[in-house]
Amino acid sequence: MKKLLVAVLALIMLFSFANAEEVVSIEGGGWNIPATICMPEGEGPFPLVVMYHGTGSNREEAGNGYKMLAPLLAEKGIASVRFDFVGNGDSTASYRHYTLTSGVRDGRRVIDYMLEKPEIDPDKIGVIGWSQGGTVAMLTAAWYDDIKALVTWAGATDLMHNFGSMYEEAEQNGFAKMEFDWREPLELSLAWFDEARDIDVAHELSNYTGAIFVLAGENDTVVPLETMEEITSNTGSKYIASEIIKDADHTFNVFSDPELKAYKELAEKTVNFFEEMFGLIE
């Protein structure tokens, strides 16, 4: 009887969580954009946070980092939507279509889709990006003046630092093949390399005047910690904050620490920032 009760409670919790989220497919101008919406309880209107994932990942993010963040935001009355870049996750299109500007366009289509909902407050839009997702989130904030709050988790400004050695292959073939330990290879187009080389992300950030919070792991070996200073010194933001998560790597130890200590600190600080910027803290 006790086991049955536990099973029933587990099912109730499962369906309660499922009902809080909705999976949608958004038209992306040549391909569909798979996305997951997480709404708070109530009628709104709610602030919105849009999540941009990193290289080789998907909308749930490393260690389900975004999937875990969404309900934490919802508990504070903040809606969120996380989506797959073209060629990632549930996207059925080729990754060769992906560039920085395609990522910005897809994210903008997701934002516009959400703004059609009466439950969303159009004056309280925020974006968050992890690693290369941070690059795209920064460009989005710089190019669209309705973005009021920006968070980067190990956000990158110089992608050629990591991928520049593959440029010759892309010139020869039209794409370069990226190998991963955790997924099938991705084919990175020559257009992506040209944009990564030619778009000065830090310079573009001078156009952004909303709030910004820059976070990184102390032991990040993928994106140099000096990037944090580059971001904060170039933005035109009126509210600038940055923080290093102690003893954390590029993925904030989500794969190495079962207790998720660094991630929990990261998530809490992120949620608190959005709460404050959206005026939800009395």
User: What is the rounded CA–CA span in Å between residue 123 and residue 17?
Assistant: 27
> Mind listing the pLDDT tens digit for each residue in 22-33?
999 999 889 999
Q: Closest Cα partner for 101 from 135, 127, 131?
A: 135
- Coil, helix or strand at residue 102: helix
Type of residue numbered 121: D
What are 60-70's pLDDT values in tens digits?
A: 999 999 999 99
The helix or strand, by DSSP H or E, that contains position 51, with its residue range, turns out to be strand 46-52
**8 A C-beta contact, residue 237 and residue 212:** yes
pLDDT at 282: 63
CA distances 194 to 128, 134, 189, Å, are 24, 18, 9
Are 73 and 79 in contact by the 8 Å Cβ rule? The answer is yes
User: Which one, of 87, 71, 70, lies nearest residue 33 by Cα?
Assistant: 87
Which pLDDT score, from 0 to 100, does residue 232 have?
A: 97
Q: Which residues of 111-129 are buried (b: 16+ CB within 10 A; e: fewer)?
A: bebbeeeeebbeebbbbbb
Give the pair of three-digit tokens for residue 120: 């969303």
pLDDT score for 238? 87
Low-confidence ranges of the chain (pLDDT < 50): 1-19
How do the domains of the chain map onto residue ranges? 22-277
- pLDDT of amino acid 181: 87
Residue 124: φ, ψ to 5°: -135, 75
Residues constituting the chain: 282
Q: How far apart are CA 245 and CA 265, in angstroms?
A: 8
pLDDT at residue 3 in the model: 41
Q: Locate 147 and state its tokens.
A: 């973005």
Is the separation of the CB atoms in 53 and 133 below 8 Å?
Answer: yes
Q: What is the DSSP string of 112-176?
A: HHHHTSTTEEEEEEEEEEETHHHHHHHHHHHH-TTEEEEEEES--S-THHHHGGGHHHHHHHSEE
Q: What angle do CA 263, 266, 272 make, to 5 degrees?
A: 135
Under a CB-based contact definition with an 8 Å cutoff, are residues 69 and 270 in contact? Answer: yes
211-268 tens-digit pLDDT? 999 999 999 999 999 999 999 999 999 899 999 999 999 999 999 999 999 999 999 9
Structure-token match 């809080």, residue found: 20
- pLDDT of res. 80: 98
- Nearest partner of 66 among 254, 231, 220, judged by Cα: 254
> What is the CATH number that goes with domain 22-277?
3.40.50.1820
Report whether 44 contacts 118 (CB < 8 A).
Answer: yes
